[in-house]
């Protein structure tokens, strides 16, 4: 089974690609939390994957919170692996995940990293179209290799060198500051189509008078702003005029 969290499709695409090759089920962490589903049966030969983006040089907090409550019935040392997607550097991200797993008595064995198109448009301009295409092509090739390694249950996890300032101080600060829903707003181009409501994995957006309204609890996945077909959703003063980024090969399940 593969547990995933995704906003713009990079991590979902990776999870879907691996699941198809491994013939495994894909489970949304956000929906599991909404439905209070934390208990899963693990088969003897089944691999367990976690696929997620990098938020502030660590896994999204929702992923770590989910692991704290997760129950894997039948776990007897089965192969556990991590697949992170990132537009830049990942620093100590996988070690944060490993610590959460260790606290449950589980062992992380596989470590796989995919550089994907940068989609955190609230902070900076997205990658150029040419560089985006290069990243996607490279990621597809990497996924072929990763699938082979996962099939073999290859043990390749080891601690990475990292910046303490980025991983613990700056990353934590960015996460705490970035979780506010207040900077979101819509421009006149909004048609009230409701795609942002469906795109929010946390189910926090609702339409009021035909316009989206953000409730507290944002995870900064940026699915709403990047997937808006009218580019009408903005975040503060930085996103107007910036190109939106969505994985073109992902099959969204909303």
pLDDT at residue number 10: 95
Asked if residue 64 has pLDDT above 80, the reply is yes
Look at residue 164 and tell me whether its pLDDT is greater than 90.
no
- In this prediction, residues 47-58 reach a mean pLDDT of 92
- Cβ atoms 227, 198 nearer than 8 A: no
Nearest to residue 6, comparing CAs of 66, 49, 70, 53?
53
Q: What is the mean pLDDT of residues 108-128?
A: 92
Torsion of CA 227, 248, 253, 101, to 10 degrees: -100
The mean pLDDT of 64-89, rounded to a whole number, is 95
pLDDT for position 122: 87
- The C-alpha R_g of the chain, in whole angstroms, comes to 18
The tens digit of pLDDT for each residue in 166-175 reads 655 656 666 6
Q: For residue 146, is pLDDT > 70?
A: yes
Under the banding of pLDDT at 50, 70 and 90, the label for residue 15 is very high
In the predicted structure, residue 177 carries a pLDDT above the cut 70: no
Spell out the domains of the chain, with CATH numbers in brackets: 2-165 (3.40.50.360), 179-235 (3.30.70.20)
The pLDDT score that the predictor gives to residue 7 is 93
Mean pLDDT across the stretch 191-202? 94
- Look at the chain and count its residues: 254
**pTM more than 0.75:** yes
How far lies 91's CA from each of 49, 116, 171, 195, 254, in Å?
20, 15, 10, 33, 31
The pLDDT of residue 173 is 64
Per-residue pLDDT at 123: 84
Mean pLDDT, the chain, whole residue set: 91
The per-residue pLDDT for 158 is 87
pLDDT, position 169: 61
Worst-scoring range by mean pLDDT, 62-76, 160-174, 198-212? 160-174
Please tell me the predicted confidence (pLDDT) of residue 159.
77
| pLDDT tier for residue 124 given thresholds of 50, 70 and 90 | confident
- What tokens appear for 100 in the block? 């959460």
Residue 161: pLDDT band (50, 70, 90) is low
Check pLDDT > 60 for residue 14.
yes
One-letter-per-residue 3-state SS of the chain: CEEECCCCCHHHHHHHHHHHHHCCCEEEHHHHHHCCCCEEECCCCCCEEEEEECCCCCCCHHHHHHHHHCEEECCCCCCEEEEEEECCCCCCHHHHHHHHHHCCCCCCCEEEEEECCCCCCCCCCCCCHHHHHHHHHHHHHHHHHHHHHHHCCCCCCCCCCCCHHHHHHHHHHHHHHHCCCCCEEECCCCCCCCHHHHHCCCCCEEEECCEEEECCCCCCCCHHHHHCCCCCEEECCCCCCCCCCCCCCCCCCC
């Amino acid at each position: 089974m593969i547990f995933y969290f995704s906003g713009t499709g990079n991590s979902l695409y990776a999870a879907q690609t691996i699941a198809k090759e491994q013939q495994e089920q894909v489970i949304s962490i956000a929906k599991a939390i909404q439905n209070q589903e934390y208990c899963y049966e693990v088969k003897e030969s089944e691999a367990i994957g976690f696929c997620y983006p990098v938020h502030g040089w660590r896994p999204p907090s929702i992923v770590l919170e989910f692991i704290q409550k997760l129950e894997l019935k039948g776990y007897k040392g089965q192969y556990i692996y991590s697949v992170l997607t990132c537009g830049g550097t990942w620093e100590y991200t996988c070690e944060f995940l490993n610590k959460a797993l260790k606290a449950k008595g589980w062992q992380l064995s596989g470590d796989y990293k995919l550089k994907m198109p940068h989609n955190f448009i609230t902070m900076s301009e997205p990658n150029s179209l040419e560089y985006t295409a290069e990243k996607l092509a490279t990621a597809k090739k990497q996924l072929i290799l990763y699938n082979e390694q996962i099939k073999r249950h290859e043990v390749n996890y080891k601690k990475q060198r990292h910046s303490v300032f980025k991983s613990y101080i700056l990353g934590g600060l960015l996460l705490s500051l970035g979780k506010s829903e207040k900077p979101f707003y819509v421009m006149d181009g909004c048609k009230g189509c409701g795609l942002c409501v469906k795109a929010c994995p946390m189910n926090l957006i609702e339409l009021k008078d035909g316009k989206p309204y953000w409730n507290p609890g944002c995870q900064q996945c940026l699915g709403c702003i990047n997937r808006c077909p009218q580019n009408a959703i903005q975040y503060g003063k930085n996103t107007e005029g910036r190109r939106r980024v969505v994985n073109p090969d992902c099959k969204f399940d909303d």
